[in-house]
Amino acid sequence: MARIISLITLLLCTLIVLTWPDITEGTALTYNVAAHEKACFYAWVDKAYEKVSFYFAVQSGGSFDIDYTVTDPRDKLVINGDRERQGDFVFTANFVGEYSFCFANDMSTFAEKIVDFEITIENEPRAELPPSKGVTPEQTSNMEESLIRLSGSLSTIARSQKYFRTRENRNFSTVKSTENRIFWFALLESTLIVGMAALQVFVVRTFFSTTKRGNV
Q: Same domain for 74 and 134?
A: no
Same domain, 36 and 13: no
Whether 48 maps to a domain, the answer reads yes
Per-residue confidence (pLDDT) for residue 24, from 0 to 100: 41
The yes-or-no verdict on residue 102 having pLDDT over 70 is yes
Nearest CA to 39 out of 75, 77, 69 is that of: 69
143 or 121: which leads in pLDDT: 121
- 71 and 146 belong to one structural domain: no
pLDDT digits (tens, 9 = 90+) for 172-182: 777 887 888 89
Instruction: Compute the Cα dihedral for 159, 95, 103, 29 and give only its sign.
Output: positive
Mean pLDDT of 1-17: 45
Same domain for 28 and 121?
Answer: yes
Whole-prediction pTM value?
A: 0.60
162 in a domain, yes or no?
A: yes
- State the residue range of the domain holding 103: 24-125
Q: Is residue 55 part of a domain?
A: yes
The answer to whether 68 touches 76, Cβ cutoff 8 Å, is no
User: In terms of domains, do 30 and 106 share one?
Assistant: yes
CA separation (Å) from 5 to 127, 135, 136? 22, 8, 11
Tell me whether residue 215 is in a domain.
no
In a domain, 216, yes or no: no
> Last residue of a domain, which of 94, 125, 156?
125
SS3 labels along 81-107? EEEECEEEEEEEECCCEEEEEEEECCC
pLDDT for res 98: 94
As a whole number, the mean pLDDT across the chain is 78
The number of domains in the chain is 2
- Whether residue 59 lies inside any domain: the answer is yes
**pLDDT digit string, tens, across residues 14-47:** 444 444 444 344 456 889 999 889 999 999 999 8
> At 110, which helix (H) or strand (E)?
none
DSSP E strands: which ranges in the chain?
A: 24-33, 38-45, 50-60, 66-71, 77-84, 86-93, 97-104, 113-122
Q: What is the pLDDT of residue 129?
A: 52
Q: Are residues 193 and 119 in the same domain?
A: no
Is the domain of 118 the same as that of 136?
Answer: no
Do 107 and 141 have their domain in common? Answer: no
* Position with higher pLDDT, 61 vs 117: 117
Phi, psi (rounded to 5 degrees) for 169: -65, -40
Claim to verify: residue 120 and residue 28 sit in the same structural domain: yes
213 in a structural domain: no
Residue 205 or 14, more confident: 205
48: CATH: 2.60.120.680
* Same structural domain, 28 and 118: yes
